[in-house]
Amino acid sequence: MLVFKDCKIVPLPQKTNPSYLAFALQKDSPFLEIFNYFLLKMMEVGEIKRITEKYTTFSQECPNYSGKPLGFNSCVTAFGLLCFGLAIAWILYLGELIATGIKWISSGQRKKKEPNKCDVKTDQQAKLTNKLPPF
């Protein structure tokens, strides 16, 4: 039997998936005594232990990796993908700005700047500002 060991795991302080052996029978079933008899016989012979050892996973003996830092080499790919995504986003953003600018220029629908009402001086205001002494 091949057993693959992936030793990059962290041991837990307690069991997370305990397995139990159980049979469901109807309440007051006439088969309860028969089941109990044969289960006890199987336990005495060691058949239950053999079955559970056959179908349960084996414990692994691995070095303790708790508290060990990740290191730069294990993070390079993630940061590279992040930078690549940012570069693509900036290229698309600049392309969109250029495309909308070209569309805006070629459409010829540029608004001419209309003078603001506050900027237009009446003749009386112009005469008054000319008569004021300079500071």
pLDDT of residue 128: 61
pLDDT of residue 1: 43
DSSP one-letter string for 41-100: HHHHHTHHHHHHHHHSPPP------TT----STTTHHHHHHHHHHHHHHHHHHHHHHHHH
Give the alpha-carbon dihedral of 32, 33, 35, 40, to 10 degrees. 140
Is pLDDT at 66 greater than 90 in this prediction? Answer: no
104-131 per-position pLDDT tens digit: 777 766 555 565 555 555 666 666 666 6
Of 68 and 54, more confident? 54
**Band (18; pLDDT cuts 50, 70, 90):** low
How large a percentage of the chain has pLDDT more than 70?
55
- In angstroms, the CA 91 to CA 85 distance is 10
**Per-chain mean pLDDT for the chain:** 75
pLDDT of residue 2: 44
Whether the CB-CB separation of 21 and 52 falls below 8 Å is answered with: yes
The burial class, CB within 10 Å (0-12 / 13-18 / 19+), for 39 is middle
